[in-house]
Homo-oligomer: A and B are copies of this chain.
Amino acid sequence: MSNVTTENKNRVKRRPDRGHYDTATIYQIIDESMLCHIGFVQDGQPFVIPALHARKDDQLLVHGASASRLLKHIQEGNAVSVSITIIDGIVLAKTVFNQSVNYRSVVVFGKGRLIEDEDEKIQALEHLTERLMPGVWEAARKPSTTELKATSIVSISIESASAKILSGSPKDDLEDQGLPAWAGVLPIRQVIGAPIGADYTDNSTPIPDYVTNYILKKNQ
């Protein structure tokens, strides 16, 4: 992919063995997680805010939980850094030094742009909504003009990105592998619990197939 480069600022310097740069790997991590953390600078102060994201080609669409500060920043044309991290397991080694976690993380550098065109905004909102729950865009009432005005969506171009992955067994040195302690991995994953209907959801409304399918897919 032409616009995911590995600039100097984005090289995995400390542990080059953990660096992964191919687009498929990077996009898979971005797409698996719904949560990202966006870093930016205002008046020399670093800020990190959590946000929900959806990737559309080489753009990250972001619907911020505390969008206003970010939006002001974005509109000024400043750089942002986006970090996405998935913890896959607790790695227990026979040595304190090698305790760790298995993880997959991506760092993206880019510049954001507030989506102002109404058609583009509706498409972006559909993409974000379908990322949260496939099928819900059709099922739910579409946004009114007022609601659309109250919604802000930012598109961040993925100018450079890199991934870091740690997986597999603990990494004790050979001379420690005979120690008596137990070593291994405790896998961690997210699961979806039983749906809880809103108090205003009629009890006769069945849980829709798109919800059931989502849960089955996530929990398989």
Contact = CB atoms under 8 A, between A and B. Distances in A.
A105 B47 CA distance: 14
Contacts of A13: 66, 68-69
Contacts of A181: 136, 139-141, 205, 208
- Give the bracket for the number of chain A residues in contact with chain B: 35 or more
Interface string A44-56: 1111111010000
A140 B192 contact: no
B196 A185 contact: yes
A176 to B, nearest CB: 6
Interface stretch (A20-28, A86-94, A113-121): A86-94
B193 A190 contact: no
A143 B65 contact: no
Contacts of A97: 143-144, 147, 150-151
Given A37-B39, A183-B198, 14 more contacts: A13-B69, A14-B67, A45-B79, A46-B79, A93-B198, A94-B140, A96-B137, A96-B147, A97-B144, A101-B132, A183-B197, A184-B201, A184-B207, A185-B198
Q: Which 4 A-B pairs have the closest CB atoms?
A: A39-B48, A187-B193, A37-B37, A39-B39
